[in-house]
Amino acid sequence: MKKFNIALVTGLSALALSACSGSETAAPSGDDTTTVEDMPVEGGDAMPTAEENIVQIAQGNPATSTLVAAVTAAGLGETLSGTGPFTVFAPTNDAFGKVDKATLDGLMKPESKDALGGILKYHVVAGNVMAADVVKMITDGGGKAMIKTLNGELTATMDGDKVVLTDANGGKSTITGTDIKASNGVIHTIDTVVMPKS
């Protein structure tokens, strides 16, 4: 099993996301493995420019309003506006819609700031990791790769041409949009919120 060793950045925590039109994902150089296809995602019509940071991209996209609210509630907006780089596995509004409403409402309360921050950090990796990198790690790992986030690990596998992330509790999320470039990192949208081990 291949281990994804990106150094954990102390003090960095966050999640900010965007759901835009899918972007092209090229195969790793010299590798004929299947890559994540360009997949449609709810939300904006145009690919954001790399001049916008992760937070600006999120604020400009109505499909990420729940996530922007979560980042604000957790006090992470300033962090994700920093230099990074960050790789964010970003749940769309539809992904957050799968979370029990009472649970989500509870997480948005000030007294739940730490718990919310822990969930958001589970969606963030230190460094730039493109979709082709994830696919290559899975191939090199014999069908599985461990991705180290700021709050634990995700297991990445392939399901046909799609990358599936499995969280610490066995929950699964599919990457639906790839390689959305920001000035301080890259965003991949996902269809389900992943949860760290509680």
In the chain, the number of structural domains is 1
Concatenated DSSP letters of 32-49: ----------SS-SSPPP
What pLDDT, on the 0 to 100 scale, is given for residue 129? 95
User: Is residue 195 one of the residues assigned to a domain?
Assistant: no
pLDDT band at 116 (very low <50, low <70, confident <90, very high): very high
Higher pLDDT, 2 or 130: 130
Query: Is 196 part of a structural domain of the chain?
Result: no
Percent pLDDT > 70 in the chain is: 75
Tokens at 144, concatenated = 């599985």
List Cβ neighbours of 174 (8 Å cut-off, separation of 6 or more): 159, 162, 163, 164, 165, 190, 191, 192
Q: Assess if residue 64 is contained within a domain.
A: yes
3-state secondary structure of 145: strand
CATH classification of the domain holding 75: 2.30.180.10
- pLDDT of 162: 96
**pLDDT for residue 182 is more than 60:** yes
- Give Cβ neighbours of residue 125 (< 8 Å, ≥ 6 apart): 4, 6, 86, 87, 88, 89, 147, 148, 149, 150
Mention every residue, 6+ apart, whose C-beta is less than 8 A from residue 107: 70, 73, 115, 116, 119
Return the pLDDT at 39: 31
| CA-only gyration radius of the chain, Å | 15
Residue 79: strand pairing partners = none
Answer whether residue 132 shows pLDDT above 80.
yes
User: pLDDT averaged over the chain?
Assistant: 78
Residue 58 confidence (pLDDT) = 81
pLDDT tens digits for range 83-103: 889 999 999 999 999 999 999
Q: What angle do CA 91, 13, 25 make, to 5 degrees?
A: 45
Q: Which domain holds residue 49?
A: 2-190
Q: Does residue 198 sit within a domain? A: no
| Better-scored residue on pLDDT, 44 or 80 | 80
pLDDT of residue 68: 87
Q: How far apart are CA 184 and CA 64, in angstroms?
A: 18
Angle value at C-alpha 189, between 188 and 194, nearest 5 degrees: 105
| Across 24-38, 59-73, 116-130, least confident range | 24-38
pLDDT at 23: 34
Residues with Cβ within 8 Å of residue 102, at least 6 apart in sequence: none
Tens digit of each residue's pLDDT (9 = 90 or more) over 157-171 = 999 999 999 999 999
Question: Span 111-126, mean pLDDT?
Answer: 94
Residue 197 lies in a domain: no
Q: HSE (CB half, 13 Å, CA atoms) of 196?
A: 19
